C-alpha cells in the first residue's frame, strides 16, 4: 500500500508521530467539511431547522454501522472529554458510593471523577495495575480485589492515553455486570484504530472520538448508551429537548444544543467513506503496525528500559508507549520538536515517565529513523 502523506494537510517537514493527541483530517474529508460550512452559511435555516434532524440522523446511522450498534443509542458530542462529563453527571452518585478506575486514566477524566466524587461524598479509587501486564486475567483480578458492595461504577479506557495499553474491555464489562456496577468506557483512542462492535462489548456507556483515528474534523465524538440508561442521561446544557428524530432522553435532550456548526458531524460520513475506500483495516492499519514494530527494538535499546508489552494482546495497532529512565525529561518534548522537528508527546505526570509513538497512514520509515536518531542525541 502506498503512503498516503499527500492526502493530509500536515507540514511535510515534521515527523508527525502524535496522531493520538489531536488526529489529522485527510484532504477529501476536510474539503467536504468546508463544503458543509459553506452550505450552512448560504442557507442557515435549512441546515439548522428544516433539515437538521434528518441530516444528524443520516450521519448517526453511518456511524452506528461503523461501530456496530443501533443508531438511536448514539448521541454526537464535541469530544470524548465532554462525553465522559455528560455520562458522569448523569450517574446518581451518592455518599458512600465508589468509582473504580485504572491508575492511568486520561488526566482530564481522572480530574473529572475526583471532583464529582468529592462533591457527592463518593470515593474515587484507582486500581494499581503494574506494567507490563501478564494477561487479561491479571487485570480482572486487580479490579476484583478492589470490589466491595460500595462500588457503583467501574470505568476504564479502551486504549489508555499515556501508556497505550489495549485493555480487555469485554471482560471488564462482564466483571461490572456480575457485581451490579455500571460500566463506563473511555474509548477516545479506539474508533478507527480497532474494529469496534459495541453490541458485543455491551457496556452501559461507551464514549468515543471521531476526530482521532476515524480522521473526522475536530469537534465530533459520540456517546453510546445502553437501553437500560437511555432515559437517564442528559447533557450539561439544557435546551429545547424536542428536536430529534429519536424519542429517548439521550437524543431528545442532546441533539439540539442551540445554534452551532454541525459540519464536523456531517463530515463523519465522509471520513468513513475515506477509511473504506482505502481499505483501512485490511491495508493501512497492518502497515502501520509493521512500521512501529520494526523500530521497537531500536527504541528500547536507546532507552535502556523494559518493554511495556509482555503480551501482544495489549498492543494497540497504531500506538506504542516507551518507558524513560529516571531523570529530568522536562525538555525532551521541546527538544524533539524544535531541534529535530519530531512531534510526539512526553508524559511526566505518572509515577514513571513515558513517551508515546503514534503511526498513521502518512508516516513512513524516515519518520521513525529521525525519531531514533533524535533519541540517541537527547537521551
Task: With cut-offs at 50, 70 and 90, classify the pLDDT of residue 44.
Answer: very high
What is the average pLDDT across 341-347? 98
pLDDT for 171 equals 98
What is the average pLDDT across 327-343? 97
Residue 245 has pLDDT above 80, yes or no: yes
What is the average pLDDT across 269-277? 98
The tens digit of pLDDT for each residue in 114-164 reads: 999 999 999 999 999 999 999 999 999 999 999 999 999 999 999 999 999
The tens digit of pLDDT for each residue in 68-109 reads: 999 999 999 999 999 999 999 999 999 999 999 999 999 999
pLDDT for 244 equals 87
Residue 343: strand pairing partners: 16
pLDDT for 243 equals 86
The tens digit of pLDDT for each residue in 55-73 reads: 999 999 999 999 999 999 9
What is the average pLDDT across 213-242? 94
pLDDT for 2 equals 59
The tens digit of pLDDT for each residue in 176-195 reads: 999 999 999 999 999 999 99
Closest CA to 263 of 13, 39, 11: 39
Task: With cut-offs at 50, 70 and 90, classify the pLDDT of residue 342.
Answer: very high
Residue 170 has pLDDT above 50, yes or no: yes
pLDDT for 212 equals 98
Q: Sketch out the chain's domains with CATH numbers.
A: 5-17+278-378 (3.90.1150.10), 32-267 (3.40.640.10)
Task: With cut-offs at 50, 70 and 90, classify the pLDDT of residue 308.
Answer: very high
The 3 state secondary structure assigned to the chain is: CCCCHHHECCCCCCEECCHHHHCCCEHHHHHHHHHHHHHHHHCHHHHHHHCHHHHHHHHHHHHHHHHCCCHHHEEEECCHHHHHHHHHHHCCCCCCCEEEEECCCCHHHHHHHHHHHHHHCCEEEEECCCCCCCCHHHHHHHHHCCCCCCEEEEEEECECCCCCCECCHHHHHHHHHHCCCEEEEEECCCECCECCCHHHHCCCEEEEECCCCCCCCCCCEEEEECHHHCCCCCCCCCCCCCCCCCCCHHHHCCCCCCCCCCHHHHCHHHHHHHHHHCCHHHHHHHHHHHHHHHCHHHHHHHHCCCCCCCCHHHCCCCEEEEECCCCCCCCHHHHHHHHHCEECCEECCCCCCEEEEECCCCCCHHHHHHHHHHHHHHC
Q: What is the mean pLDDT of the chain?
A: 96
What is the average pLDDT across 217-245? 93
The share of the chain scoring above pLDDT 90, in percent, equals: 95
Cβ atoms of 252 and 308 closer than 8 Å? no
Residue 11 has pLDDT above 80, yes or no: yes
Task: With cut-offs at 50, 70 and 90, classify the pLDDT of residue 318.
Answer: very high
What is the average pLDDT across 264-288? 97
CA separation (Å) from 82 to 89, 188, 372? 11, 11, 36
Q: How many Å apart are CA 76 and CA 63, to the nearest integer?
A: 10
pLDDT for 1 equals 43
Q: How many Å apart are CA 287 and CA 135, to the nearest integer?
A: 26
Closest CA to 165 of 334, 310, 337: 310
Dihedral sign of CA atoms 188, 192, 193, 199 in order: positive
Amino acid at each position: 500500500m502506498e503512503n498516503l502523506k499527500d492526502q493530509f494537510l500536515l507540514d511535510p517537514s515534521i515527523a508527525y508521530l502524535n496522531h493520538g493527541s489531536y488526529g489529522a483530517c485527510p484532504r477529501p474529508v476536510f474539503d467536504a467539511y468546508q463544503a458543509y460550512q459553506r452550505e450552512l452559511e448560504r442557507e442557515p435555516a435549512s441546515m439548522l431547522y428544516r433539515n437538521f434532524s434528518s441530516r444528524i440522523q443520516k450521519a448517526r446511522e453511518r456511524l452506528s454501522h461503523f461501530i456496530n450498534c443501533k443508531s438511536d443509542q448514539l448521541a454526537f458530542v464535541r469530544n470524548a472529554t465532554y462525553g465522559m462529563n455528560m455520562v458522569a453527571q448523569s450517574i446518581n452518585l451518592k455518599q458512600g458510593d465508589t468509582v473504580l478506575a485504572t491508575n492511568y486514566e486520561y488526566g482530564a477524566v481522572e480530574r473529572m471523577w475526583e471532583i464529582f466524587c468529592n462533591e457527592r461524598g463518593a470515593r474515587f479509587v484507582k486500581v494499581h495495575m503494574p506494567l507490563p501486564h501478564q494477561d487479561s486475567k491479571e487485570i480482572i483480578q486487580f479490579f476484583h480485589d478492589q470490589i466491595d458492595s460500595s462500588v457503583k461504577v467501574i470505568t476504564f479506557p479502551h486504549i489508555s492515553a499515556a501508556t497505550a495499553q489495549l485493555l480487555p474491555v469485554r471482560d471488564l464489562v462482564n466483571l461490572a455486570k456480575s457485581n451490579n456496577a455500571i460500566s463506563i468506557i473511555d474509548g477516545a483512542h479506539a474508533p478507527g484504530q480497532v474494529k469496534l462492535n459495541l453490541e458485543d462489548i455491551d457496556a452501559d456507556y461507551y464514549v468515543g472520538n471521531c476526530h482521532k483515528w476515524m480522521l473526522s474534523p475536530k469537534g465530533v465524538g459520540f456517546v453510546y448508551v445502553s437501553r437500560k440508561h437511555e432515559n437517564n442521561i442528559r447533557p450539561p446544557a439544557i435546551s429545547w429537548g424536542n428536536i430529534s428524530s429519536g424519542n429517548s432522553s439521550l437524543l431528545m435532550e442532546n441533539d439540539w444544543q442551540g445554534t452551532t456548526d454541525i459540519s464536523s458531524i456531517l463530515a463523519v460520513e465522509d471520513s468513513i467513506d475515506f477509511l473504506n475506500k482505502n481499505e483501512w483495516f485490511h491495508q493501512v492499519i497492518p502497515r502501520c503496525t509493521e512500521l512501529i514494530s520494526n523500530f521497537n527494538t531500536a527504541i528500547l535499546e536507546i532507552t535502556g528500559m523494559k518493554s511495556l508489552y509482555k503480551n501482544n494482546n495489549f498492543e494497540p495497532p497504531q500506538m506504542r508507549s516507551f518507558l524513560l529512565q529516571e531523570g529530568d525529561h522536562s525538555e525532551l518534548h521541546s527538544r524533539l520538536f524544535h531541534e529535530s522537528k519530531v512531534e510526539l508527546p512526553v508524559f511526566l505526570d505518572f509515577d514513571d515517565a513515558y513517551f508515546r509513538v503514534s503511526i498513521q497512514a502518512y508516516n513512513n520509515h524516515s519518520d521513525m529513523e529521525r525519531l531514533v536518531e533524535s533519541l540517541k542525541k537527547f537521551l
